[in-house]
Amino acid sequence: MSSSTIGPAQDDLFDRRPLSFDPGLKRNRSNRLLTGVAGLFAAIAILPLVLVIFHVLVQGGRLLTLGLFTELPPPPGLDGGGIGNAVLGTLVVTLVAALVAIPVGVGGGIYLSEYSMGGWFARFVRFGNDVLAGVPSIICGVFVYGAIVASRILFDRSYSALAGGLALAVLMLPTVIKTTDEGLKLVPQELRWGAYGVGASRFVTIVRITLPSAFTPIATGVVLAIARAAGETAPLIFTALFSYFWPESLLSPIATMSVLIFNFAIMPYEAQNALAWAASFVLVVMILIANLLARWFSSIAQR
């Protein structure tokens, strides 16, 4: 179309369109306003997290000493002491939970992704896994209390570190199963076909090809599950209980940081309240490190 066929009205329309950003246009003003509103809502959403972390760092960080990790908590009403047994107990209980939940969760995810073929049983398991992920942690604690602690099924012992680890394992399972299932779905189907083409069995293909390819998303899910389990309180109150002494065995009550925080925070003694803040600081740092590690694994998977 030649320039002679363009009318005056069309010439004016094209001349009025700016070639650069014009802040005076109505659509640009609306865009800036709505962007600011969205940013404000985002700041409001993250503000509670920032305030909680800052308050815990201020209250608990000033109490950070070497003796905090090497000494036992004092009896109620006395000063001094530390949270060494609670730190060690948290690591022990979380390790027990991981040893139970990781093999079962990864195995369940492998079945759903590689063997189930999308049948009714697989749909039932996925639905049950989603429901279990939303069950309150205290319900899992009550269940394990009734099934293990009250029945004394573990060598005729009641409250124990092993029971606490099993309760946390129940909470870890949905996350591990879900991330394993989704991680295996991300593996290209061509890799499986190539392995089958050279004569590899399904088991060999999963062990040598599929699982190594999905290691990063699976590891991310495992770390997130461990971070969630380490901060739980209600299941441990019903299962591991608490102890003022160093851990003796997996079949005896054990101290954990979350339960120590609960017990000491409600005591009318300043020394115990201070230890509760110190334990809060240590627990927050541990969970923060675990989440940063999970983000690092996730960033590797996206490369």
Look at residue 230 in the predicted model and tell me its pLDDT: 86
Longest dimension (CA), the chain: 99
Whether 73 and 244 have beta carbons less than 8 Å apart is answered as yes
Look at residue 102 in the predicted model and tell me its pLDDT: 94
Same domain, 12 and 108: no
Of the listed ranges 4-8, 44-48, 243-247, the least confidently predicted one is 4-8
pLDDT digits (tens, 9 = 90+) for 73-88: 988 878 888 899 999 9
| Distances, alpha carbon 22 to alpha carbons 14, 29, 33, 35, 220, in Å | 15, 9, 15, 16, 45
Same domain, 76 and 37: no
Q: What is the pLDDT of the chain when averaged over all its residues?
A: 86
By residue range, what is the domain housing residue 10?
3-61
Same domain, 188 and 100: yes
Confidence of residue 18 (pLDDT cuts 50, 70, 90): low
* The last residue of a domain, from among 22, 37, 61: 61
Same domain, 75 and 191: yes
Same domain, 93 and 176: yes
- Overall number of domains in the chain: 2
Task: Examine the pLDDT at 93 and tell me if it is beyond 60.
Answer: yes
Same domain, 56 and 73: no
Same domain, 125 and 256: yes
Same domain, 221 and 76: yes
Same domain, 259 and 280: yes
Same domain, 44 and 97: no
Same domain, 73 and 187: yes
Look at residue 52 in the predicted model and tell me its pLDDT: 87
Look at residue 8 in the predicted model and tell me its pLDDT: 54
Task: Examine the pLDDT at 293 and tell me if it is beyond 90.
Answer: no
Q: Cα separation of 128 and 144, whole Å?
A: 18
Single-letter residue type at 133:
A
Look at residue 175 in the predicted model and tell me its pLDDT: 92
Q: Cα separation of 47 and 45, whole Å?
A: 6
Confidence of residue 105 (pLDDT cuts 50, 70, 90): very high
Residues 6+ apart with CB under 8 A from 292: none
Task: Examine the pLDDT at 180 and tell me if it is beyond 60.
Answer: yes
Q: Cα separation of 107 and 249, whole Å?
A: 29
Of the listed ranges 17-26, 154-163, 246-255, 261-270, the least confidently predicted one is 17-26
**CATH number of the CATH domain containing 231:** 1.10.3720.10
